[in-house]
Amino acid sequence: MEITSVAVTIDENGISAPTYNEIVEYLKDEYRTIYGEDAYLENDSQDGQWIGVQARAIHDCNTAVVDVYSTFSPKTAIGDALSRNVAINGITRSEHTYSYVDLDITGVSGTEITNGYVFDTNNNKWILPVKVKIPSNGLVIVSARSEKVGSVLAQIGTVTKIGKLTRGWTGVNNRSTSQLGMPVESDLKLRQRQALSVAIPSQSKLDGIKGAVLCLPGVSRCKTYENETDKIDQIGLPPHSVCVVVAGGDAKDIAQTMRAKKSMGCLYYGNTNVVVTDNFGDPVTISIYRPDVVNIGFYISMLASTEYTTEIGEKIKQAIADHVNQLNIGDKILLNKVLVPAGLFGDLDSMTYEIISISIIVNGLEINDDHRLRFNEVAYCDTDNIEINISGGNL
């Protein structure tokens, strides 16, 4: 296609720029207009090479202009440009987050725990808030943070060992699994959160709750469900109730946000009750639903060439685990999508093997099909739970 200008064009369809080859042909045509049609301008000539240099410089400038234009919208901006763009909405890209677990702290009324910490059965350390005071009923629920960054799994009833002994503190236990930490927030997740953040002042109460909760520090995932009927619905929600399933974040911060956004005549349904105070200082109990963690593994059968190594196998396992661990609450684990990270597409190592079959292992049970997480479940995949069976073949 002939062009009449090498400049970037902005119209009702957005921004566009000529390709490198189009710029080269345009410059050749202009050159021949000046010096004659018999001018030799192929790549093996000095003039042709000089035109190529000029075309490359113009093309690079146009590419920079298109990139700058793309930063004006969070839908097209990437990397640091996206981080700067969404700042106008008052949100920032989430860094690596810690895992959190809600703990029942029991003891003598009035006991103050300062800089306390506890351990689970795997000897992972969980750090309590700086100050915890046990109320008159002898029980307080607090959110403890893992010492390590990222995903630290603590199953129900495994956080039971008091690390810092304090007079009056008699026990600790977790009634729900830990909320897993996350890696640095991806561009895709940040765009989704930006879209939800502008929904906070929306007319839908449910959108506002979800947007506000996702903006809280440490919250990695949030799903909201509503039952507007007079009967228990198909997922078990009571009549006229809202269920907010939240992974990560401080339980009291989440509960306070949910209280502020609560609609009249509607109750919260959850598995963790948190007591907060209203604007008049009266106690209010808010129910949060902490998701159950489902252990996901895979059994993979492959043909491999002589160039295949165990390091490539570990790379495959890590790619699959990363894919599963970024899934949202209640998502569906699709085998055809697992093939993308398992295939290491774009990596030269992908040429050393061929995948024959993949099956999902859910809590130790093998499934030869896709798997839908329940409304209150989040997937966790450890590379140790991925088994690769190799057989020789001609690739």
Q: Consecutive sets of 10 residues in the chain, 395 residues long: mean pLDDT of each?
A: 83 87 91 89 90 93 90 80 78 80 92 93 92 91 89 88 92 88 77 69 71 84 88 89 89 89 79 86 88 92 90 93 90 91 85 92 89 92 91 60
164 is a domain residue: yes
Residues 111, 58 share a domain: no
Residues 194, 79 share a domain: yes
pLDDT of residue 187: 79
Residues 284, 221 share a domain: yes
180 is a domain residue: no
284: CATH: 3.30.460
- Residue 201 and residue 238 in contact, taking contact as beta carbons nearer than 8 Å: no
Residues 357, 326 share a domain: yes
The last residue of one of the domains, among 139, 165, 198, is 198
- Give the residue among 321, 323, 333, 332 at the shortest CA–CA distance from 386: 321
pLDDT of residue 359: 93
3 is a domain residue: no
Residues 135, 43 share a domain: no
1 is a domain residue: no
Residues 86, 159 share a domain: no
In the chain, how many domains are there?
5
What confidence tens digit (pLDDT) does each residue in 303-353 have?
Answer: 988 888 999 999 999 999 989 988 989 999 999 999 989 998 877 888 899
Amino acid at 65: V
Assign 3-class secondary structure to the chain.
CCCCCCCCEEECCEEECCCHHHHHHHHHHHHHHHHCCCCCCCCCCHHHHHHHHHHHHHHHHHHHHHHHHHCCCCCCCCHHHHHHHHHHHCCCCCCCCEEEEEEEEEECCCCEEECCEEEECCCCEEECCCEEECCCCCEEEEEEEEEEECCCCCCCCCEEEECCCCCCEEEEECCCCCECCCCCCCHHHHHHHHHHHCCCCCCCHHHHHHHHHHCCCCEEEEEEEEECCCCCCCCCCCCCEEEEEEEECCHHHHHHHHHHHCCCCCEECCCEEEEEECCCCCEEEEEEECCEEEEEEEEEEEEECCCCCHHHHHHHHHHHHHHHHCCCCCCEECHHHHHHHHCCCCCHHHHHEEEEEEEEEECCEEECCCEECCCCEEEEEEEEEEEEEEEECCC
Q: Please state whether beta strands 365-367 and 159-162 pair in parallel, antiparallel, or not at all (unpaired).
A: unpaired
334 is a domain residue: yes
pLDDT of residue 193: 73
66 is a domain residue: yes
How far apart CA 385 and CA 96 sit, in angstroms, is: 23
212 is a domain residue: yes
Residues 259, 190 share a domain: no
Residues 111, 37 share a domain: no
Residues 59, 123 share a domain: no
What confidence tens digit (pLDDT) does each residue in 155-204 have?
Answer: 889 999 999 989 999 999 998 888 888 777 777 877 877 776 665 555 56
Q: What angle do CA 62, 192, 201 make, to 5 degrees?
A: 115
Q: How many CB atoms lie within 10 A of CB 158?
A: 18
Residues 230, 122 share a domain: no
pTM of the model: 0.56
Domain residue limits at 21: 9-70
Residues 328, 278 share a domain: no
- Give the residue among 276, 272, 271, 269 at the shortest CA–CA distance from 252: 276
Residues 206, 148 share a domain: no
85 is a domain residue: yes
